[in-house]
Amino acid sequence: MAREFTLPDVGEGVAEGELVQWLVAEGDTVSEDQPVAEVETDKAQVEVPAPVNGTVRELHWDEGDIVPVGDLFVTFDVEGEAPEPEAEESAEAGDDDDDDDESADGAASATSEAGGRTFAPPSVRKLARELGVDLDGVEGTGPSGRVTEGDVRAAAEGGEEAAEPAAESTSATQAVGDDDGATAASAGGAAAGGQEPAGREKTLAAPATRGVARELGVDIDDVPAVEQRDGEAFVTAEAVQAYAEGGQAAQGDAAAAGGAASREFVEGGETTEPYRGIRRTIGEQMAESKYTAPHVTHHDTAVIDGLVETRSKLKARAEAEDVKLTYMPFVMKAVVAALKEFPVLNSELREEDDEIALKQDYNIGVAVATDAGLMVPVVKHVDQKSMLEISEEMNELVEKARNRSISREEMQGGTFTITNFGAIGGEYATPIINYPETAILGLGAIDERPVAEDGDVRAAQTLPLSLSIDHRVIDGAEAAQFTNRVMEYLTDPELLLLE
C-alpha cells in the first residue's frame, strides 16, 4: 500500500524549503527516521527523515525546486503491506494500443524496477518512462555518471537500429589511434569535412559549453574545433549546438568559417546561480536595514599591546581546558561593559508603538562568513558568562553555522552584533546594521601600525574599529563615547576584571 508523505514543517515556522539533495533514489529501501533529503530553509539546511519503514516509490520534486510545506514530497510502499500494482494497471490501460506501446510499457516497467540502481533525478526518470527507455542501458554523461535528459533523448532517438552504425563509428574512431598514419588521416577527413579528426583525447572548452554538450547528448571530443589554442582544439557552445542540430557536415562548415583569416574573439558569456534560500534572506534583510535605518559609521583605532599580551598569557590555560581562546571574547566583554554605560546602543526602535526599547539582556551576535553567505549566531547573556564560557559557546556556534547545522533559535534574540571583516584582511568598513538592532561594531585586522606617543613614533599592535549606528536613535556623540569606552577596555583588559 502506498503511503504519501508531505514536506513537514521542519520546526522553524517556514512556509517552504529548497530541495538541495535527494539522499535516496526510487526503489531504495529505507527505515523509519532515515534521512531521505536535505532541504534548505531561509536560515539553515536540515535533513528530512523517512516517516516509515518501506521502499521509495516516487520522488515528486527535482533538486533545486522550492517545495511548499504540506505538499506531496515522497511516496513510499510501506513495509509489510502489498504495493499497488502500478505497472500492471498501466499495462491493462494500454491493451488497446499497438505492439510498440506494449513494448514501451515493458521498458517503462523495467526502468521503474531499476530505479534504485541508476543515478538520475526524478524528471529524467519520468522522461525515460515516457520515451520507453530503460535507464539501466543508458550511460550517464553528467557529474559522477549522472544520467541527464540529453542521455535519455539520445538513447530514445538512437534505438536499436542506430546501435550497429554507432559501433562502426566507434571502431573507426579507435583506428585514429593506430600506428597507420594514412588510416588516421582518412578517418579525420571523413569525420570533420577536412578539419581535425573526431574523437580527440583533449578538447578546450568553457564549463558552460561542456554543460551544453551534456544536455544535448554530444561528445564534446567529437565536435570539430572552431580554432586551435596552444596546439589544442577549442570548441564553443555554438559549435556544439551546430553539431547537434546539423550533424558533422554542417559543423564542418562552421569549423571552416572559424578558421578564416579574420580572427573572431570568443564571447565569455555568463553563468547563473539561484537567488533564493539563505542568500535571498540575507539580501532582503540587508535591504530592509539599509533603507529603513539611516546609517552613520564612526571609525577609530585601539592600541592593544596589553590585550595581545594578556591573551597570550591566557591562551595556554584555555587550551588546557580544551578551549580555543581568540580575541573575540575580549571584544564581546568590552562591548557589554560599554553597553551598560550607553544603553541606547543596545536598543530597538519600534516605530509602530512610538517607542525605543532599551534591552536589559546582552545577547551578542557574531557575524560568520559561510559558503551560503553571512550568518549571525547569537551568544546569549554574555554579561553573565566567563571568558572561557563565551569562547567555548561562540566556537561551537560558529562551527554549527559553517556546517549548516545551526538552528533558527540560535540566530535569534540578538541585541548587538560584531562583525570581524579583519579576519580576511582590511582595516575599515561600513557594516550594515543587523536590523532591528540599532548598532553594529566592525573589527579590522589586528596588526602592527605606527603610533605617535609623547612626540615619538613606535610600532604598536592596533585594532581598527568601525561602528555603524541607526542615526534615528543614536547621536554621533554617543557613538564616539561608546567607541572610546570599548577602546579603553581593549587597551587595558584588566579593567574587565572589575565588571
Residue by residue, pLDDT tens for the chain (499 residues) are 788 999 887 655 677 888 888 999 999 999 888 999 988 876 667 889 998 899 999 999 988 888 888 899 999 998 666 555 544 444 444 444 444 444 334 333 333 333 344 566 666 777 777 788 887 788 877 654 667 777 888 888 775 444 444 344 333 333 333 444 333 333 333 333 344 445 677 787 776 678 788 888 888 888 888 777 666 777 788 888 888 877 544 444 544 544 445 678 888 888 887 777 777 878 888 888 988 999 999 999 999 999 999 999 999 999 998 999 999 999 999 999 999 999 999 999 999 999 999 999 999 999 998 887 889 999 999 999 999 999 999 999 999 998 888 888 899 999 999 999 998 888 999 999 999 999 999 999 999 999 999 999 999 999 999 999 999 999 999 999 999 999 999 999 999 888 7
Q: In what order do the strands lie in the sheet with 66-68?
A: 45-49, 35-40, 16-22, 66-68
Q: Taking the mean position of all CA atoms in its chain, how far away is CA 273?
A: 9
- For residue 128, the model assigns a pLDDT of 79
Domains of the chain: which residue ranges? 2-158, 163-258, 279-498
Judge: domain 2-158, CATH 3.30.70.270: no
C-alpha cell at 301: 583605532
Length of the chain: 499
Quick check: pTM over 0.85? no
Rounded-to-integer distance, Cα 109 and Cα 93, Å: 14
Q: What is the DSSP letter of 326?
A: -
C-alpha cell at 63: 533538486
425 phi, psi to nearest 5 deg: 105, 160
Provide CB contacts within 8 A for 486, sequence distance 6+: 302, 331, 334, 335, 338, 441, 465
- For residue 91, the model assigns a pLDDT of 43
Amino acid code (one letter) for 85 = P
- CA-angle at 358, arms to 353 and 360, nearest 5°: 130
Q: Give the number of C-alpha atoms closer than 13 A to the C-alpha of residue 339, restricted to the C-beta side.
A: 28
Selecting among 60, 295, 299, 471, the annotated active-site residue is 471
What SS3 state is found at 306? Answer: helix
CATH among 3.40.462.10, 2.40.30.20, 3.30.559.10, 3.30.200.20 for 279-498: 3.30.559.10
Amino acid code (one letter) for 47 = E
- For residue 247, the model assigns a pLDDT of 56
Rounded-to-integer distance, Cα 141 and Cα 222, Å: 14
- For residue 115, the model assigns a pLDDT of 36
Assess contact for 413 and 435: CB atoms under 8 A. Answer: no
- For residue 450, the model assigns a pLDDT of 96
Query: What's the distance, Cα to Cα, between the start and end of the chain in Å?
Result: 66
Radius of gyration of the chain (CA): 32
Neighbours of 458 (CB within 10 A): 12
Assess contact for 174 and 201: CB atoms under 8 A. Answer: no
Rounded-to-integer distance, Cα 41 and Cα 18, Å: 6
Assess contact for 1 and 84: CB atoms under 8 A. Answer: yes
Q: Would residue 299 show up in a list of annotated catalytic residues for this protein?
A: no
